[in-house]
Amino acid sequence: MSKIINGKEVSAFVKEKVKTEISLLKSKGIDVSLAVILVGENPASKIYVANKKKACEELGITSLEYLLPEETTTEELLGLIDTLNNEKTVNGILCQLPLPKHIDEQTVINSINPKKDVDAFHPENVGRIMIGDFDFLPCTPAGIMEMLSYYNIGVEGKNCVVIGRSNIVGKPMSMLLLHKNGTVTTCHSKTKDLPNVTKTADILVSAVGKANFVTADMVKEGAVVIDVGMNRENGKLCGDVCFDEVEKLSSYITPVPGGVGPMTIAMLMKNTLTAAKKQNNIF
């Protein structure tokens, strides 16, 4: 029977440290602020934005919300971002994805000042992650690395398999494991004989977005299994991993909900704090 990796517990640990540092900055007259832009009425995005606002309030971060209508043009959105880029009191800028189809996401991402890009999606920040000289990390992969550290799960020398190659999770996840001296295989829809590859993993990360995709026959006994999936099946939230099956095999496993999910917002708060410190020359 595996040990549950409790994302809520690790998230609380990270947020408490961030809260302490923010309090210290405030005692020096430095306020920390995060601007969040939401375009349109995507229900899931509205929930995410509300959760981010709540976390900001808990930790003492000033939350600035910009709720824009669905018909907002690319030019209007870029104009707002330009204003926020030049506003010294704004430390972090987050534009909630996905954007309406008529807006080019990459153009928007590219327009955010890399020093305020707390999602770490800007090409400059992505490049810095590649060479291992970064200020910010994408929140979900960063949260996973934080969980591994919290539970003293070493990466060095381990076979690590990441299922998924998205720019948001899969690719940066592979890079972070590589930076910790893991031997990393990235799998995707064109990978041949996927179960044979995943069964080599000491650490298996699934970021596919398909309910119950990872079954027991795909997992090596004693593996650490990290489930990034957030899927709905029969009205219930579930991950990529068949939890009941895989839990019996793995040494550690993240549940859904309560695993990786809480870490994403915690790491966003940490990135915002980092941005404020860098902008105020506090290292």
Catalytic residues, which ones?
Answer: 52, 96, 119
Cα–Cα distance list, 31 to 49, 57, 78, 234, 262 (Å): 21, 13, 25, 44, 24
d(CA 175, CA 165): 11
d(CA 204, CA 201): 6
Cα–Cα distance list, 151 to 5, 7, 9, 127, 190 (Å): 8, 11, 11, 29, 33
Beta-sheet pairing, 236-238 with 231-233:
antiparallel
Tokens representing residue 194 in the block: 């996927």
Tokens representing residue 277 in the block: 């410190």
